Chain A
Amino acid sequence: MAQRSASKRKRQASTTGQPHTHGKSRCLRILRQLSAYIDDELSTNICQEIRQHLGACPNCETFVMSLRQTVSLCRHSPAPTLSTADRALMREKILKTASSR
């Protein structure tokens, strides 16, 4: 909770005109770990460091949001389905090929 409000304060600071002062190298270090971050695979300390960075860096915050959306879209992409007729036809073909060799 305390982390969340600290992050919120930083975000507010970043959107109220405070310049984005850190160098890009930090963003790039974060960017390399973003999949592990959104998959919840990082240690508590690293997660906290990333959350703090995201709160202060609108660029990285937008980036991580779009990466999350990408994963979410993949997860919800409609599943292609087979017709009953195709299912039966393929079964016949497989058994025929298997018994012919």
Chain B
Amino acid sequence: MSASPTIRRSPASSSRDPQSAKNFDRLYKDHVDLIYRFAHRLCGEPEAAKDLVQETFLNAYRGFDRFRGDAQISTWLYTIASRACRRMRRRRKGAPERELSLEEFIPTSDGEFRLQIPIDGLSPEEALQNKELRHALDAAIDQLPKKYKMVLVLRDMEGVSAKEVGTIMGLNERAVKSRLHRARLFVRRQLSARGLGEPLIDHNHDSRG
């Protein structure tokens, strides 16, 4: 992830003055795509993602004077977005979050140990051109309990370091890594056990000869 630009603020700036509006525009322009990508991966669909982006930047606009500049701006925005996401979820009052235990991912037979994701010989980019695999991956991530999903999205999709994920979610690094491992085991099991047994032949991509 590239370093975010520094936005200069005068200590006396309020959230209503022209300098603030200019700073906001720059913040928005530089980071809206990043936060939308994150929001879409968390929410799984565009409309909820747009709501989350708006909530995030509204809170950033209001809290801009409190940004101390000791973190990357992207980390600060991810933190605001992850809190906004938790608040939006609480409002929807879904089923309580389920814990993933390591034990549930322990294979019980040799066959289960050796389940494979059928992408042999294909690069990840090539494999993901297969719609069935892409949908299976999206569905697996979507089925993750939210606190595991947020760690997986930040770490393995957004490329944020474990330490930064800890800062964003208010967790220590050990907890981040523990959740990440369970999340990956969950997605691996979903992908390998979904009956994607046939080799992935990409009908739109036959340059491989």
Residues of A bordering B, CB below 8 Å: 27-28, 31-32, 34-36, 41, 58-60, 62-63, 65-67, 69-82, 86-87, 90-91, 93-95, 97-99
- Chain A residues near B141 (CB-CB < 8 A): 74
Q: Are A28 and B137 in contact (CB under 8 A)?
A: no
> Across the A-B interface, how many residue pairs have beta carbons closer than 8 Å?
118
Contact A71-B184, Cβ < 8 Å, known A62-B116, A77-B137, A94-B54: yes
Q: Are B50 and A76 in contact (CB under 8 A)?
A: no
B147 at the interface (CB under 8 A from A): no
Chain B, 112-132, CB within 8 A of any chain A CB: 113-117, 119, 124-125, 127-128
Q: Are B61 and A98 in contact (CB under 8 A)?
A: yes
The interface size bin for chain B is 35 or more
Once bound together, how far apart are the Cα atoms of A27 and B113, in whole Å?
Answer: 10
- Chain A residues near B116 (CB-CB < 8 A): 62, 65-66
Once bound together, how far apart are the Cα atoms of A59 and B128, in whole Å?
Answer: 25
- Chain A residues near B110 (CB-CB < 8 A): 59
Q: Are A69 and B119 in contact (CB under 8 A)?
A: yes
Q: What is the chain B residue whose CB lies nearest that of A32?
A: B102
Q: Are A73 and B124 in contact (CB under 8 A)?
A: yes
- Chain B residues near A90 (CB-CB < 8 A): 32, 50, 53-54, 57
Q: What are some 11 contacts across the A-B interface (CB < 8 A)?
A: A27-B113, A59-B110, A62-B115, A73-B128, A75-B124, A87-B32, A90-B32, A94-B28, A94-B61, A98-B15, A98-B58
